[in-house]
Structure 1
């Protein structure tokens, strides 16, 4: 009887049994209950939340669009112009070129983006005096009223200003992906010709800047990109879709980071478990379990949320080899911008081979290197594509 009771006590104190229950409770109960509302988690219950969250996102975007419109209307009433760089005679260190086209006018995407950059430039102060805002309007007719409004405050170039709309429309809409590529090359080249800056930040008109964008960019360009393997990069991408940021993805460089998470958290959690369970020693089986446990947890909860911890300081931002998708915000050194323009002129885009794939193919064809910064330095706020009809937009 004493032996049976002893064996029963030993079984309940078994690490294997503890690990079994911890796995069931974590992945079967706690994580689904706490993460079902996280958009970029595997536990996200889209049938519960997606429609409501998409509706709330659109409503919030409408409010922010109206606020941006009132902001510029007030500036116009005061005969105010944006102070950063438009009359500067010196060479800008950074030109922020915002590419805009007419789309869903009630959301005022471009006004949100320009007002966001303007506010951050004002907060930045003297370190950003050599930054230049520049708007590139690539809409094929004169219907883009937000671009017309912004011409009162910042320099604007219009690709089709001297063209006749009906004649352009027949050629343009035959291949919208090729037009998008030509628009991009035009705006990049105009930024070079007009300002001859050291860097060009190409921003699409639905990419809202994050609060840390200028401090992080200055740190990266002045410190990190002075390193030999980063110095000659063709471009630095500032955005990658959150839904594609998981470890279990085609980008192999994340696997090492994933193992690093396990190697860090495995011994740490294992040590805590040994202390709580009053075990005599930490062995490799305990470390292995907690390494796999932590790796599974961060993947299923979402790598995106782990990356957010890097926003604590510019030095914590990560720079890794670039991925194929997408182009809401791209930073080009002046030395590589003209090479990019020339290459884009040599190829044609189409459905299935858009400009992001064209830029990525440039790296392979010309043996160039490019990088992406993590976490993102812009937020993609546009649910209505200018290339594809999208009458029922969703966050995913």
Structure 2
């Protein structure tokens, strides 16, 4: 069914951006089912949330999964609803598709927030608990704390401690020091040492830091799923855009920023948006741990299109 304009205001619109991928994967159906299940789990608290399918495939009627869902969920199709000029490159095309879906979300529902997700980002349990924690507890006075967006996903391979983000280094040292202190105390008790040894403490702290990095920070972050109050909100880093939360005001700013820039190889929409933060002295956030699971094996941007062989992400 086509979404109709002038719907009443809603707290959150979840918009799934989709294009054809290899047909056997059915990513879109997995993501849509995931959100329907999460909404069902959420119950009355999420009863006013809306789910929108945004089909940006150049041949929308050939996207069979999107056509199937359009009979069940509100949907829009870019190449059916407007005349679309050919973009100079795929990166610019992706940016234009993204802005179309974001603008349609605002136009059709006038939401307080938009969660823009790609069609290979399956929601995890607790995603809506995280949303409420973010907007009602962390940023109760100003939507997203005045930030441009909040990322609900960051690649696990980029979540380690050995990364350029200074706050992770401090977190790493703090974790190592805490575990090192406990191990040092156990050492003095077990081996009946008369006093605290700084050399032992430093050695065990370094050992704990090394073990934490080898174990993987993204696995340690899973402990935070015990309660939404433990979720971590940190400054956003450059990559990537599988799941992004915007407030209504920040979404309109984002649309204006995208209108003023052009993407190209090496300057995709995630990089462009991140660089705009610095230029305009804006802020953005990332929520830890991830609230979606990235199931895509192949990039629709760099991979399968018109008979090309897909490229592994």
Q: CA deviation at 1:284?
A: 1.5
Q: Distance in 2 between the 1:317 and 1:286 partners?
A: 33
* Distance in 1, Cα, partners of 2:144 & 2:121: 25
2:141 and 2:203 mapped to 1: Cα distance? Answer: 38
In the other structure, the counterpart of 2:37 is: 119
Task: Name 1:292's counterpart in structure 2.
Answer: 206
Report 1:330-341 matches (<5 A): 330-341=244-255
Residue of structure 2 in register with 1:56 after alignment? none
CA deviation after TM superposition for structure 1 residue 283, in Å = 2.0
Which residue of structure 2 aligns with residue 152 of structure 1? Answer: 71
4+ runs of 1 displaced by more than 2 Å? 85-90, 226-230, 389-394
- Distance in 1, matches of 2:296 and 2:184, equals 44
Deviates more, 1:384-393 or 1:266-275: 384-393
Question: 2:9 maps to which residue?
Answer: 91
Aligned to 1:307: 221
Query: Residue 120 of structure 2 corresponds to which residue in structure 1?
Result: 206
* Bigger RCO of structures 1 and 2 (CA < 8 A, at least 6 apart): 2
In structure 1, the residue matched to 2:62 is 143
Does the residue aligned with 1:161 lie in a helix, a strand or coil? helix
Residue 385 of structure 1 aligns to a residue whose secondary structure is coil
142, 156, 161: which one aligns with 2:80: 161
- 2:238 aligned with 1:320, yes or no? no
2:285 maps to which of 358, 363, 371 = 371
**Measured at CA, do residues 88 and 311 of structure 1 come closer, stay the same or move farther in structure 2, by a change above 3 Å?**
farther
Contact 2:151 2:236 survives alignment (8 Å): yes
Q: Is the 8 A contact 1:210 1:379 kept in 2?
A: yes
Aligned to 1:122, what secondary structure does the other structure show?
helix
d(CA) in 2 for partners of 1:230 and 1:103? Answer: 33
Gapped runs of 5+ residues in structure 1?
A: 1-80
Distance (whole Å) between structure 2 residues aligned to residue 382 and residue 152 of structure 1? 25
Change (3 A) 1:144 1:108: same
Residue 280 of structure 1 corresponds to which residue in structure 2?
194
Q: Shift of the alpha carbon at 1:378?
A: 0.5
User: What pairs with 1:250-261 in structure 2 (closer than 5 Å)?
Assistant: 250-261=164-175
Larger radius of gyration: 1
Query: How far apart are 1:286 and its partner, in Å?
Result: 1.7
2:143 and 2:16 map into 1 onto residues whose CA distance is 29
8 Å contact from structure 2 (residues 303, 310) kept in 1: no
How many residue pairs were aligned?
A: 307
Indicate if the aligned counterparts of 1:86 and 1:154 stay in contact, CA closer than 8 A.
Answer: no
**Is structure 2 residue 301 aligned with structure 1 residue 382?**
no
Distance 2:291 2:203 in 1: 35
- Structure 2 stretches of 5 or more lacking a match? none
Alpha-carbon distance in structure 2 between the residues aligned to 1:229 and 1:387 = 31
- TM-score, scaled relative to structure 2: 0.93
Deviation string, structure 1 residues 333-375 (Cα, Å, up to 9, x no partner): 1011011001101100011000000110110111100000111
Q: Give the corresponding residue for 1:103.
A: 21
1:217 and 1:363, CA in 2 relative to 1: closer, same or farther beyond 3 A? Answer: same
Name the CA distance, whole Å, in 2 between partners of 1:214 and 1:291.
37
- 1:372 and 1:388, CA in 2 relative to 1: closer, same or farther beyond 3 A? same
CA distance in 1, matches of 2:144, 2:248: 15
TM-score by length of 1: 0.74
1:235 aligns with 2:161: no
Question: What's the counterpart of residue 220 of structure 1?
Answer: 134
Match of 1:354 among 256, 268, 278: 268
Task: Give the Cα–Cα distance (whole angstroms) in 2 for the partners of residues 134 and 199 of structure 1.
Answer: 13
**Coordinate RMSD, CA, aligned:** 2.2
1:305-354 CA-to-partner distances (Å, cap 9, x unmatched) read 11111111101110100000000000001011011001101100011000
